Amino acid sequence: MDQRRTLLRAVKSFHTFAWFTIEACMAYVLYTGIRGQTDRKTGAAAAVVAVETLVFAANGFHCPLTAVAKDLGDDTGSVTDIYLPRWFARNLPGIHVPLLIAAVVLHWRNLRIRAVRDSQRRLLLGR
């Protein structure tokens, strides 16, 4: 039983590390969107967020580590209960949806502005 508890703690620790990494990418995507800096690094961070979102959606809007946590003996299957406040863990999808929408809108705006500038530049240069 002690080994299962250790493994469960390892799964929850991994989940927390992955969560912080994905959140850092999300914060970076939002920051660059606000700053008007859509570039390759932003694209890489956005890809991390997109893959996480797709995995979450493909798993029925549940973290895939939930089943692992249940198999290791956690009653709820929660992978966030040790390191994140309960109210926060329960509301993560509701918090992320507006952030994802904001990120998409900001970067769509940035790309649109860049396209208009490029078009104007080509007109002025006669190319």
Which percentage of the chain shows pLDDT scores above 90? 41
Q: What is the pLDDT of residues 49-82, one digit of tens each?
A: 999 999 989 998 888 888 888 888 877 666 665 5
For the chain, the structural domain boundaries read: 2-125
Question: Which CA distances in Å does 10 have to 14, 67, 69, 85?
Answer: 6, 14, 10, 18
| pTM, two decimal places | 0.81
Residues whose CB is less than 8 angstroms from the CB of residue 69 and which lie 6 or more positions away in sequence, other chains included: 8, 11, 12, 76, 77, 78, 79
What is the chain's pLDDT, residue by residue, as a tens digit (127 residues)? 588 888 888 888 888 899 899 999 999 999 999 999 989 999 999 999 999 999 989 998 888 888 888 888 877 666 665 567 778 777 888 888 999 999 999 999 999 999 898 888 888 887 6
